[in-house]
C-alpha cells in the first residue's frame, strides 16, 4: 500500500494573516512551475504562457502577490520588504510539499532570485525574466545607463503623485505604460485590475519599501540551474546587468535574448518564453 497522498489544488496561501490567491492549473502530477508576476500586473499576465506549460505536462501555480491579492494588501511600506516577498514565495513552495521550478518576471523576478539564493532545497530551477540577479542590477545602476532607465523607481517614492498620474484614463501613467510597449488592451486590464480595484498604492509599495531593504539578502550566488530571459527592446532593463548575471550563478546557466520584444515578455512572446522555461525544466 502506498503512503503517498493525492495532490490537491492550491487556491490560496495564508501567511501572517494575509491570503494570497493562487491559480493552479495543469496536471496535478506534473512538474510544478511557480509563476510570479511583476508591476503593474497580476497573475493572469501568465494567461498565454501557462496553457503551453500545462499542455507540455507541467502544473502551473500563478500567484497574485501581496499588494495585489484582495486578502493581502497591508498598508505599511515596510510590509513589502524583500524579506516579506521572499517569505510569501517560500510559503507557496512549501505548500506543494516538493521542489518547484520558479519563474519570475519584472518585480516577480526578485523573490524568484531570492528563494533560489536562500532556499535551494525548495527550488528545482529558476527562470528569471527581464530582471537580472539583484546584485548585478544594483551594480548596473552605477556602472551603466541603468540608473537613467530606472528613473521611475525614484519617482514612485513620492507619495500620492503616481496615484494622481493614474487617476485619469489615458493620462500620464497610461501613456508611460504604452511607451514601454504595453498594448492598449493590457493598459485597460491594468486600469481594471490595479487602479479600479484599489491595488495601485499597495502595488507601488514594492518600490516604496526599497529604503527598508536589507542589502545582505542579495549578496549570494545562485546554486540551482538558471535561465535568464531578456528582450532587447526593453526600455526599463538594460544589457549591462544581464550580461554580468552569469558570474553570480554557480550552476548550469543559459542566457536567452529575445529580439524585437518589449519589456512585457509573458504577453508578447509567450511561445518563446514557454520554450525557454520548458528547456530549463527539462534539463533540471
Is 263 among the catalytic positions? yes
Hey, which residues does 284 pair with through a beta bridge? none
Q: What is the β-pairing status of strands 100-105 and 32-36?
A: parallel
Q: Cα separation of 3 and 92, whole Å?
A: 23
Nearest to 156 by CA among 200, 194, 105, 191: 200
The one catalytic residue in 106, 174, 186, 234 is 106
For strand 123-129 and strand 59-63, is the pairing parallel, antiparallel, or unpaired? unpaired
37 an active-site residue? no
β-partners of residue 20 are 13
For residues 66 and 51, give the distance between their C-alpha atoms in angstroms, rounded to a whole number: 24
Q: How many Cα atoms sit within 13 Å of 93 on the Cβ side?
A: 27
Which residue of the set 21, 133, 207, 234 is catalytic? 207
279 is catalytic: no
Catalytic sites, residue numbers: 106, 207, 263
Amino acid at each position: 500500500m502506498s503512503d503517498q497522498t493525492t495532490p490537491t489544488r492550491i487556491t490560496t496561501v495564508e501567511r501572517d494573516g494575509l491570503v494570497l490567491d493562487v491559480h493552479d492549473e495543469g496536471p496535478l502530477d506534473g512538474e510544478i512551475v511557480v509563476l510570479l508576476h511583476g508591476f503593474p500586473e497580476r497573475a493572469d499576465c501568465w494567461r498565454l504562457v501557462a496553457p503551453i506549460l500545462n499542455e507540455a505536462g507541467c502544473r502551473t501555480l500563478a500567484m497574485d502577490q501581496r499588494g495585489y491579492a484582495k486578502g493581502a494588501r497591508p498598508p505599511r511600506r515596510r510590509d513589502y520588504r524583500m524579506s516579506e516577498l521572499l517569505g510569501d514565495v517560500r510559503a507557496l513552495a512549501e505548500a506543494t510539499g516538493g521542489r518547484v521550478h520558479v519563474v519570475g518576471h519584472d518585480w516577480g523576478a526578485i523573490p524568484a532570485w531570492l528563494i533560489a539564493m536562500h532556499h535551494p532545497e525548495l527550488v528545482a530551477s529558476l527562470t528569471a525574466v527581464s530582471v537580472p540577479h539583484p546584485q548585478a542590477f544594483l551594480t548596473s545602476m552605477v556602472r551603466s545607463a541603468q540608473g537613467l532607465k530606472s528613473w521611475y523607481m525614484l519617482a514612485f517614492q513620492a507619495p500620492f503623485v503616481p496615484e494622481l498620474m493614474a487617476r485619469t484614463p489615458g493620462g500620464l501613467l497610461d501613456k508611460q505604460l504604452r511607451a514601454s510597449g504595453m498594448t492598449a488592451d493590457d493598459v485597460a486590464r491594468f486600469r481594471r485590475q490595479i487602479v479600479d480595484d484599489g491595488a495601485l498604492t499597495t502595488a507601488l509599495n514594492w518600490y516604496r519599501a526599497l529604503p527598508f531593504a536589507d542589502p545582505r539578502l542579495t549578496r549570494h550566488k545562485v546554486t540551482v540551474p538558471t535561465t535568464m530571459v531578456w528582450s532587447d527592446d526593453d526600455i526599463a532593463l538594460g544589457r549591462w546587468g544581464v550580461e554580468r548575471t552569469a558570474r553570480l550563478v554557480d550552476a548550469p546557466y543559459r542566457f536567452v535574448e529575445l529580439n524585437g520584444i518589449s519589456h512585457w515578455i509573458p504577453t508578447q512572446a509567450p511561445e518563446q518564453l514557454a520554450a525557454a522555461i520548458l528547456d530549463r525544466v527539462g534539463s533540471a
